[in-house]
Amino acid sequence: MELNPEQRAQAQRFFEDKWRMAGVCPICGTTGWEMSSSIVQLMGYYGGTLVAGGPVFPLVPVFCKNCGYTLLFSAIAMGIVIPEPPAPNVGTEAAHG
């Protein structure tokens, strides 16, 4: 998902407020960082099996422009993505209905 201008501004505010130790890359020692223009997702691991409806974690990558070292920030913690409530358990509803 591509970040829109409002989401990019929200991310910038997050970094300005939270990222106190930004600066030097711990791998190559340079100071050039760039935020991805897209949100990526990390999925739960289930022994190599894809689980439909499993947890998905939306992340904003920030990478070193020299060596590619990448940091991942939670798009939910940044306020860019609002988590959806869990789907109701159909079996539970039927038992209580």
pLDDT in tens, 18-48: 887 778 899 999 999 999 999 999 887 778 7
CA distance 28 to 70: 12
Judged against a pLDDT cut of 60, whether residue 90 lies above it is answered with no
What is the predicted pLDDT for the residue at 94? Answer: 47
Domain ranges of the chain: 5-96
% of the chain at pLDDT higher than 70: 88
56: β partners: 43
Higher pLDDT, 90 or 16: 16
**Of 33, 94, 95, 41, which Cα lies nearest the Cα of 68?**
33
Statement: the pTM of the whole predicted model exceeds 0.85: no
Reduced 3-state DSSP string for 38-82: ECEEEECCCCCCCCCCCCEEEEEEEEECCCCCEEEEECCCCCCCC
* Mean of pLDDT values over 66-95: 80
pLDDT classification of 88: cutoffs 50, 70, 90: low
* Cβ-based burial of 9 (10 A; exposed 0-12, middle 13-18, buried ≥19): exposed
CA distance 68 to 26: 11
